[in-house]
């Protein structure tokens, strides 16, 4: 056996164990226990609906620059406006029609419970009186602290005041990296000095304006920001206000627009999907979808493509039915008013919420799968459960069917007509509700149904395992969303019946087999049979190599790509070494650049390994010449997984990455199947 293989198969095992253990315990001083987080999150989980406001100097050009009307809050960079030219808007910002009470009253009338406003967006301009900056609202003709007025108005109207604050800052001389089109030199810029400035403004926001509900960070995706900055910023927020909630964009690895952290060491209290609603929700995770009313976050005078009130109401319902919050955006005008289209939609949503708000506030995700007629929210009430059946499509025969439920029904009624009972009867495993002929509200009508006990939903159990291929025995578990059901399973290919093995605890599979499972209620099968096949495989053999050095070889290429190029056909700009799969500490450029990393990775034992490749933009992982993860294309920071069986010892590894413009990110995590993923330690990599 070679020196290299011996090194990885013996001494490195303990390093892997230590690395995984280090990830399992929380990451910071204020990453407190679940009870403390639940206490802080209680009002937010009750609220379900909030107002997002994007407002700043960018409202003045109103989306237009040199005959192009497709800009908004990003206009400084999308129109490539130099800092000194953009600063002219400072002398023009004078929103004399701004009325904090009017804004808060509109949000409250819409049924919203909290307001998140841009205290500072990416352009660096602060809407508050900042002692650490002269690039703020007090330097404009307006000379009023907008954040102070809003905070006071929120207290008067029982609304939670929350701040959006950008980590990225295109104006500050110490922020790095510079925009690719900028002419300002980065010489002398000190990112750590910028971080102290950032922390100074956050301290002001959490010290000078009373109790704040949320610190909503953004702009964390560029290569200069890291967990080593994010965790201390999270800690600072809770140090200043122990009750504040902090979103996951305070740290890195939020997985792009999906908004869910790809590394559970990352700081932050909840996920932030942007402009999208997770198809099946995010069970076990607090999350909030932020969404525009039109195509832009900031004000665009030429914009006409607003979502309809019906679409917005149904989005709110859809999000609540999946256990999330809805943060709906308005971009105010330079005069300080809401666009008329936004005013109208807020009022119409409010009229619906006046009747149906109880079906949203404080509810939890539906225990049912998709239903053809709408969405469902739920509220446990002691010995009974209340379902809110949000009907988008009124049944033509008057029969609303709730499929696959084992509970005994109680009362049912329309929220719009509480005095009229709706008949309910059981037909086999379903409940049928006899509705009146006319749909009370064509946007969404809500039927309330009470049932006895906790929900018993007739659905097949889910078969869960870390992988479907195995080298060593693998743990298999069966899960069900209903506590009133029992699961039975087989390993011989037959369908489960009442005599099959009762599932009580996770079991192991050590050979190729098919697991079949089924739900039973009071001894009767009540679901379809679900199945999952497992295949035992031989791990890919290690290679015999010796005389290697620490780290990986890194090659740099320049180009304008939308997909990963064939680097063998590109002109290599430079070549050197790097400790691990990460971006260089001080790259010459972060846009229109590609890297190829190559060498060997040490695998400590024969097993199935799950690799997660996180990148912005495209990337690809190859082991022993085979593609394990393909994360190619133009996108924000996102992580994709790949599974591969590997024998102990050395394996060839290649990682390819490119970035076009904007943020840059690259990281590689792994773990044996069933264990917690962690960043691959530098000590695992070798090169010729």
- Of 51-55, 177-181, 354-358, 660-664, the one with minimum mean pLDDT is 660-664
pLDDT(26) > 70: no
- Burial tier of 147 (Cβ tally within 10 Å: 0-12, 13-18, 19+): buried
Mean pLDDT of 76-103: 97
Phi, psi for residue 133 in degrees, rounded to 5: -150, 145
Query: Model's pTM, two decimal places?
Result: 0.84
Does residue 7 contact residue 651 with C-beta atoms inside 8 Å?
A: no
Phi/psi region, residue 52 (left: phi>0; alpha: psi -120 to 50; beta: rest), is beta
Confidence of residue 586 (pLDDT cuts 50, 70, 90): confident
Q: What is the dihedral of CA 658, 661, 662, 664, to 10 degrees?
A: 20
Pair of tokens at residue 250: 């305070």
374-452 has which CATH code?
2.60.40.1180
**How is residue 297 written in tokens?**
């976050």
Nearest residue to 155 (alpha-carbon basis) of 210, 219, 85? 210
Does 39 have pLDDT greater than 70? yes
Strands 626-631 and 678-679: unpaired
Domain 31-359 class in CATH: alpha beta
432 CB neighbour count, 10 Å cutoff:
18
User: What is the CA angle 410-414-420, rounded to 5?
Assistant: 75
The yes-or-no verdict on residue 27 having pLDDT over 50 is no
Supply the pLDDT for residue 15. 32
Q: Summarize pLDDT for 446-471 with one digit per residue, the tens.
A: 999 999 999 999 999 999 999 999 99
Rounded CA-CA distance 178/82 in Å is 11
pLDDT tens digits for range 419-437 = 889 999 999 999 999 999 9
pLDDT at 397: 95
**364 CB-near residues (< 8 Å, 6+ apart):** 323, 377, 378, 379, 380
Is 47 a residue whose pLDDT tops 60? yes
Q: How far apart are CA 92 and CA 322, in angstroms?
A: 44
Per-domain boundaries in the chain:
3-21+541-687, 31-359, 374-452, 462-536
Tens-place pLDDT, residues 480-496: 888 889 999 999 999 99
Lowest pLDDT segment from 173-177, 240-244, 635-639: 635-639
The reported pLDDT for the residue numbered 293 is 97
Average pLDDT over residues 5-15: 34
Residue with tokens 């002419």: 183
Which of 63-67, 264-268, 365-369 shows the lowest mean pLDDT across its residues? 264-268
Q: Is the pLDDT of residue 527 over 50?
A: yes
Would you give the DSSP letter of residue 242? T
Domains 374-452 and 462-536 share a fold: yes
Neighbours of 508 (CB within 10 A): 11
Evaluated on CA atoms 249, 253, 255, 256, the torsion sign reads positive
Residue for token pair 């229109």? 592
| pLDDT value at 507 more than 60 | yes
The span from the CA of 319 to the CA of 333, in Å, is: 28
| Cα-based angle 581, 583, 586 (whole degrees, multiple of 5) | 140
Q: Is the pLDDT of residue 8 over 80?
A: no
pLDDT of residue 145: 98
Look at residue 42 in the predicted model and tell me its pLDDT. Answer: 97
Give the DSSP H/E element, type plus range, for residue 352. Answer: helix 340-356
Output the pLDDT for position 5.
33
Q: Which two tokens stand for residue 210?
A: 């009373």
- Cα–Cα separations (whole angstroms), residue 586 to 153, 223, 576, 592, 667: 46, 10, 14, 16, 16
**Cα maximum dimension of the chain:** 84
Strand, coil or helix: 250: helix
- Residue 259's pLDDT band, with cuts at 50, 70 and 90, is confident
CB half-sphere exposure, 539, CA atoms < 13 A: 21
User: 633's torsion region: left (phi>0), alpha (psi -120 to 50) or beta?
Assistant: left
Q: Which fold has domain 3-21+541-687?
A: Jelly Rolls (2.60.120)
DSSP E strand stretches across 491-603: 501-502, 507-509, 513-521, 524-525, 530-536, 549-550, 552-558, 572-578, 593-603
Q: Of the ranges 11-15, 81-85, 281-285, which one carries the lowest mean pLDDT score?
A: 11-15
Q: Report CA-CA distances (Å) from 378 to 8, 126, 221, 427.
A: 52, 41, 36, 22
- pLDDT reading at 188 higher than 50: yes
What is d(CA 613, CA 630) in angstroms, rounded to the nearest whole number? Answer: 8
Look over the chain and give the mean of its residue pLDDT values, rounded to a whole number.
92
Nearest Cα to Cα of residue 687 among 605, 563, 602: 602
pLDDT at 19: 34
Residue 200 neighbours by CB under 8 Å, 6+ apart: 131, 132
Q: What is the mean pLDDT of residues 239-264?
A: 88
The answer for residues whose C-beta is within 8 angstroms of residue 176's C-beta and 6 or more apart is 186, 189, 191, 194, 224
Report, in angstroms and rounded to the nearest whole number, the Rg of the chain calculated over CA atoms: 28
Q: What is the pLDDT of residue 3?
A: 31
* Of 345, 350, 354, 286, residue with least CA distance to 319: 286
φ, ψ dihedrals at 193, nearest 5°: -65, -40
- Whether the Cβ atoms of residue 14 and residue 604 lie closer than 8 Å to each other: no
pLDDT digits (tens, 9 = 90+) for 542-551: 999 999 999 9
Distance CA 275, CA 319 (A): 12
**3 state DSSP class of 569:** helix
Order of strands, edge to edge, in the sheet holding 474-479? 462-465, 474-479, 507-509
d(CA 17, CA 290): 39
Q: What is the mean pLDDT of residues 359-380?
A: 96
The total number of residues written for the chain in this structure: 688
The reported pLDDT for the residue numbered 32 is: 52
Whether the predicted pLDDT of 364 surpasses 90: yes
Contact 401, 432 (CB under 8 A): yes
Going by pLDDT thresholds of 50, 70 and 90, the confidence category of residue 221 is confident
Whose CA is closest to 260, among 227, 234, 222, 289? 289
Residue 9's pLDDT is 36
What's the average model confidence in pLDDT over 530-547? 96
Return the SS3 of 353.
helix
Contacts of 215 (CB under 8 A, 6+ apart): 162, 163, 165, 202, 205, 206, 237, 244, 245, 246, 247, 250
Condensed to tens digits (0 to 9), the pLDDT of residues 204-218 reads 999 999 999 999 999
Residue 380 · residue 395 · CB < 8 Å: no
Q: How many CA atoms lie within 13 A of 450 on its CB side?
A: 11
Give percent of the chain with pLDDT exceeding 70.
95
Phi-psi region of 48 (alpha: psi -120 to 50; beta: other; left: phi over 0): left
Average confidence (pLDDT) over 581-591: 83
Can you name the residues that pair with 550 across neighbouring β-strands?
686
HSE, CB side, 13 Å, CA atoms: give it for residue 186. 16
H or E segment to which residue 465 belongs = strand 462-465
Distance between CA atoms of 578 and 599, rounded to whole angstroms? 11
Using CA of residue 672, residue 678, residue 679, residue 682, what is the dihedral sign? negative
Q: Is residue 406 a contact partner of residue 485, using CB atoms and an 8 Å limit?
A: yes
What's the CATH number of domain 462-536, 2.60.40, 1.10.150, 1.10.3470, 1.10.10? 2.60.40
| pLDDT band at 40; cut points 50, 70, 90 | very high
Dist CA 531 CA 553 (whole Å): 44
**Helical (H) or strand (E) element with 452:** strand 445-452
* 572/567 Cα distance (integer angstroms): 8
């Amino acid at each position: 056996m070679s020196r290299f293989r011996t090194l990885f198969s013996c001494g490195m095992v303990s390093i892997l164990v230590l690395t995984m253990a280090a990830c399992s315990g929380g990451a910071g001083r204020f990453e407190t226990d679940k009870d403390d987080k639940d206490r802080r999150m209680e009002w937010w989980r009750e609220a379900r609906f909030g107002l997002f406001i994007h407002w700043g100097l960018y409202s003045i050009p109103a989306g237009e620059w040199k005959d192009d009307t497709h800009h908004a809050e990003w206009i400084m960079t999308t129109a490539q406006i130099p800092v000194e030219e953009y600063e002219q808007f400072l002398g023009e910002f004078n929103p004399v029609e701004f009325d904090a009470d009017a804004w808060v009253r509109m949000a409250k009338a819409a049924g919203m419970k909290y307001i998140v406003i841009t205290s500072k967006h990416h352009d660096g301009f602060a809407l508050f009186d900042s002692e650490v900056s002269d690039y703020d609202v007090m330097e404009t003709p307006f000379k009023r602290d907008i954040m102070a007025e809003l905070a006071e108005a929120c207290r008067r109207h029982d609304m939670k005041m929350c701040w959006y604050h950008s980590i990225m800052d295109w104006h500050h001389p110490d922020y790095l990296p510079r925009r690719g089109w900028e002419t300002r030199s980065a010489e002398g810029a000190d990112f750590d000095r910028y971080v102290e400035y950032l922390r100074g403004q956050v301290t002001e926001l959490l010290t000078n304006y009373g109790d704040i509900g949320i610190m909503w960070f953004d702009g964390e995706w560029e290569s200069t920001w890291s967990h080593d900055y994010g965790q201390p910023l999270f800690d600072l927020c809770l140090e200043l206000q122990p009750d504040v909630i902090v979103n996951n964009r305070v740290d890195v690895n939020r997985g792009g627009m999906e908004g869910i952290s790809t590394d559970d060491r990352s700081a932050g209290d909840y996920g932030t999907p942007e402009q999208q609603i997770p198809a099946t929700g995010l069970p076990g995770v607090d999350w909030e979808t932020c969404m525009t009313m039109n195509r832009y976050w900031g004000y665009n005078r030429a914009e006409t493509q607003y979502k309809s009130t019906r679409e917005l109401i149904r989005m709110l319902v859809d999000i609540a039915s999946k256990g999330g919050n809805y943060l709906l955006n308005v971009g105010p005008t330079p005069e300080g008013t809401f666009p008329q289209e936004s005013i109208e939609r807020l009022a119409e949503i409010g009229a619906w919420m006046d009747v149906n708000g109880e079906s949203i506030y404080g509810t939890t995700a539906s225990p049912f799968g998709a239903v053809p007629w709408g969405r469902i929210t739920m509220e446990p009430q002691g010995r009974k459960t209340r379902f809110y059946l949000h009907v988008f499509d009124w049944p033509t025969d008057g029969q609303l069917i709730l499929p696959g439920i084992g509970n005994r029904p109680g009362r049912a009624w329309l929220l719009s007509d509480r005095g009229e009972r709706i008949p309910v009867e059981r037909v086999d495993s379903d409940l049928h509700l006899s509705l009146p002929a006319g749909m009370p509200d064509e946007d969404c009508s809500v039927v309330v149904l009470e049932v006895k006990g906790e929900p018993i939903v007739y659905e097949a159990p889910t078969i869960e395992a870390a992988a479907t291929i195995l080298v060593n025995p693998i743990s298999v578990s069966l899960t069900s969303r209903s506590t009133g059901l029992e699961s039975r399973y087989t390993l011989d290919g037959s369908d489960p019946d009442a005599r099959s093995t009762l599932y009580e605890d996770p079991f192991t599979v050590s050979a190729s087999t098919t697991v079949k499972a089924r739900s039973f209620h009071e001894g009767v099968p009540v679901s379809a049979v679900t199945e999952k096949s497992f295949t035992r495989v031989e791990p890919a053999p290690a290679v015999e190599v010796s005389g290697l050095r620490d780290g990986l070889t890194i090659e740099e290429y320049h180009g304008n790509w939308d997909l990963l190029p064939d680097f063998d056909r590109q002109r290599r700009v430079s070549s050197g070494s790097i400790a691990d799969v990460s971006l260089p500490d001080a790259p010459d450029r972060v846009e229109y650049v590609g890297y190829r990393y190559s060498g060997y990775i040490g695998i400590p034992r024969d097993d199935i390994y799950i690799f997660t490749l996180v990148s912005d933009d495209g990337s690809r992982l190859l082991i022993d010449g085979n593609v394990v993860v393909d994360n190619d294309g133009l996108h924000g920071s996102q992580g994709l997984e790949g599974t591969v069986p590997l024998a102990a010892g050395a394996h060839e590894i290649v990682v390819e990455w490119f970035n076009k413009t904007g943020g840059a990110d690259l990281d590689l995590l792994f773990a044996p199947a069933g264990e917690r993923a962690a960043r691959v330690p530098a000590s695992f990599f070798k090169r010729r």
